[in-house]
Structure 1
């Protein structure tokens, strides 16, 4: 009997090892493919039931030094920073220093004209406050790095009206979390980053997590991932403010904190998820408040808690967030029922996260073709499709060729969107988040070439290029 039990235990162990090995191979093959097709550069970390089942980096953290990405590589978390801002407000409420129903004007009287906005509204994006990223676009000196106080002064001088009455709608606005960070500072007497470090990062052993403004206060950080984009009409990676890309917004907003600017690594983020899952930092009641799905005054559900997107049903409870800023793309996801954590950190703005395939592999479901596989074709095949395609409304779709890719632009916008071939007349887009996009070409009887632009299989645009002969 003992031998039978031992044999059964060994069989189950081998079966489990085989399953995990198979999952690892499948996951690795997906991200290796994407990396090879310029669709992924970053870190993938997956854990289930308290065990790390996948932890691997792809590509370089720094294009100059060629240092490689690993589980301890530090990335800017972009909007995934908001969950830490939300948790800090929970801790301040525990200390009796704030209440969720308090009005914004109690802590930031400069904005008293937004009288009906509460801390709850800021946390859940029901305030109606406009997004500072867009408001300051053409109304700020791009040579000056703004701070949270500058954002407050900017709005206090303009006295912008709210976009809707608080609680009547749910609309994401980064300004909400900038103001929450300012409330944290005014109430605690500490800098935003200092408060997070003292009350969240250090207690949880998140030793590689901190608030960092890499343009305002640059410093040397070991194993740090630089955020990259492609220079226009090139496959050279540059930072966004580089003249070859020239996005100055990331420079002059570098000092604004709360909605972004937390930097961390996958292993530290997992410590944070474990703390939330086990109520190590927050009590069960506090966590339930943080992840409560509420409603607008019209009864529409608000699937957003305190810096967390929420998915709840009879058999599901999941929370997390995504982020995109300054060449970084981030995803943090935790399924409380399956005790499954997925962390994907990228330092390339056109990265794909392949979450559909990740879920399929982890759940043992058949794999779908989420991303097409690149094929090798000769340069003349690319060249035959270049040119200007016009539609009946006068729109022009401009196709050029560069390094085994077609590049799409139009007469109204510089899209600089790259496409690789997966068939001799069909090309797949390299887009942020891996969004589906296809260029399909077909030759007409009169020698003209027809262009069809598809997104998730639906036609979104088309044009014809007249026969060059």
Structure 2
């Protein structure tokens, strides 16, 4: 017996650490960091990232600007709005209340809102998994409404946006993402708990998990770690976005947080805290589409994950959790348009798990230096056909391309030789070869992608 015990003790202390700790952590961290530095260099990411694997943080770093005007940079303490990732908190609170016997997912909406026109047809379950058919009130709002949305908005004003709209389909028959359902879930938690949704979230989730840097009223937040949220951010344009009040998105998207606080949340999900195992199983049960109760449920190269993305004026975010692999990937950005948070988070997860990156990555060659006079010769307007035009232009000694018809935003192009360039991207490999006539004047731009060539003629 003693011999067996000593053998077991030896195996525990020698084998278990090798299993528990990710291999080649410094090399993996450097690989993730290099990828994100390139994404930042190519204006494809500006924000903060945290990656934790098997209980070890392998990357926790900021990239790019927190505030371009003051030259302050993002870091691991920067505070971000997370938009619809808020729904994972609201859904968890609903499931907690069900486990406490305070409500049932089969409760009809009419129980809480007797005058709601479709109240007898809708259940809490329909709201949770976006199978309600409710009109999405957020589709009525854009940046032009900022005079209204940059102030606290009364709940009855939001309800008026969708309460009388007809259902798009029979509840439970289809998946259709709508913020209206989660707005109603927030109101239901208030009726059940007798407390504001914000207070219930703080008492039931934020405080137990010690998420001390998370909250709701971002507009009123006074902190050196509060960033500017940008609509557009690239090398030549930095456009601050409107600042919506948190009451506009409420239980559907009103939270702000940090990467460290988000890790506390992701670890709680991984370790099945707050809810019972049955409760978490219910959270991740898909009835329709690829959405459970507040969570995207899918797989990456055959490895199951749960998560959510979030978009908000000035901000975007993506949370990926691989429960069986104890991997948490948190990508937070203070840029809303032309954001790459979702492909970036999946690329990072693939690198950690040693799986193929969806869509692959671009081959980034070493660029070649050309003087400004040489770069000037490529500037001009190019046309592929009547519907597709591109503009190549020089700004501050750097060459850029823009093609609105191809949904290509302002993008830096970098020289490889006297006449060849590549599009600065971490995700797509696009080459540009400029042809010249005998006089040395550029006549065509040959774009190559995936082995195919496209001839863009320079316009006079």
State TM-score, norm by structure 1: 0.79
Question: Which residue is 2:351 aligned to?
Answer: 361
Residue aligning to 2:314: 327
Counterparts of residues 309-328 of structure 1 (less than 5 Å): 309-311=296-298, 316-328=303-315
Cα 1:33–1:413 shift into 2, 3 Å: closer
Q: Matched residues in 2 for 1:49 and 1:120: separation?
A: 33
Matches within 5 A, 1:332-343: 332-343=319-330
Aligned equivalents of 2:382, 2:46: Cα separation in 1: 33
Where structure 1 has 5 or more consecutive residues not aligned to the other structure, the ranges are: 242-249, 296-301
The 5-angstrom pairing of residues 63-462 of structure 1 reads 63-113=68-118, 115-137=120-142, 142-143=147-148, 145=151, 146-156=153-163, 159-214=164-219, 218-230=220-232, 235-241=236-242, 251=244, 255-295=248-288, 302-311=289-298, 316-349=303-336, 350-353=338-341, 354-355=344-345, 357-364=347-354, 369-370=361-362, 372=364, 375=367, 376-380=369-373, 382-403=375-396, 404-410=398-404, 416-421=409-414, 423=416, 424-428=419-423, 436=428, 438=430, 440-443=432-435, 448-450=443-445, 452=447
Contact 1:121 1:167 in 2 (8 A): yes
The alpha-carbon distance between structure 1 residues 278 and 369, as it changes in their structure 2 partners (threshold 3 A), is closer
Are the aligned partners of 1:405 and 1:420 in contact in 2 as well (CA < 8 Å)? yes
Question: 1:246 is matched with which residue?
Answer: none
Query: What is the aligned partner in structure 1 of residue 30 from structure 2?
Result: 25
Per-residue deviation at 1:206?
1.1
Is contact 2:198–2:216 with CA below 8 Å preserved after alignment? yes
1:64 Cα deviation (Å)? 4.2
CA contact (8 A) 1:130 1:175 kept: yes
SS in 2 for 1:270: helix
Deviation for aligned residue 1:179: 2.2
- SS of the aligned residue for 1:89 comes to helix
Q: Supply the RMSD in Å over aligned alpha carbons.
A: 3.9
Contact 2:193 2:200 in 1 (8 A): yes
SS of structure 2 residue aligned to 1:255: helix
Deviation of 1:70 after TM superposition, in Å, equals 3.1
CA distance in 2, matches of 1:55, 1:346: 14
Q: Secondary structure at the match of 1:324?
A: strand
**Structure 1 pair 251/385, CA: closer, same or farther in 2 (3 Å)?**
farther
The separation in 1 between residues aligned to 2:52 and 2:144, in whole angstroms, is 45
Q: TM-score scaled to structure 2, two decimals?
A: 0.81
Deviations 1:60-106 (A, max 9, x none): 33334444433332211122111001111112222333221223333
Matched-pair contact (CA < 8 Å) for 2:80–2:258: yes
